[in-house]
Amino acid sequence: MINRLDLKEHVEVIDKVVDMPEMYAKMHVTVVPFLNLWRSPEIPLSAVESLACGRPVVATDVGEIAELVQKYRCGCVAKPLKNEFLMVLKECKRNYEVYQGNCRGVGKYLFGLDLDKMIGDC
């Protein structure tokens, strides 16, 4: 998808991460680019952790993660098309503080997470 959307200069794909809180502290958003849910969780753990760390989620309009992001305004949702996805990334950047402010509460409220134990200081 990164190549198809011509985002190579702006996106870094990391295969293995040992310290997730440190990784979330370094990033601005988590992207969940599902084309379908075949062999994929409805709400990936990476998205939940991202929200708990106050990092918005940018997701394609597939599955429950898209519904969650829209309902709680904790990121942006797009169809998996180049122009729309780029537009949504720009929207997330413009309203980043609003989305970021909504993130932590979502993880705690919806998933009953003990965020301090789960993620530490991210």
Q: Do 59 and 66 touch, CB atoms closer than 8 A? A: yes
Domain assignment of residue 72, yes or no? yes
pTM: 0.76
Identify the domain containing residue 58 by its residue range: 20-119
Say if 8 falls within a structural domain.
Answer: no
The answer to whether the CB of 80 falls within 8 A of the CB of 33 is yes
Phi–psi pair at 64, nearest 5 degrees = -65, -25
Per residue in 15-25, pLDDT (tens digit) is 787 788 888 88
Q: Quick one: what percent of the chain has pLDDT higher than 70?
A: 83
pLDDT band of residue 116 (cuts 50, 70, 90) is low
- Residues ≥6 apart with Cβ < 8 Å to 16: none
C-alpha to C-alpha distance for 21 and 40, rounded to whole angstroms? 23
Residue 105 has pLDDT above 80, yes or no: no
* Average pLDDT over the chain, rounded to an integer: 82
HSE, side-chain direction, 13 A CA sphere, residue 73: 8
Q: Rounded mean pLDDT of 63-88?
A: 89
Q: Does residue 2 fall inside a structural domain?
A: no
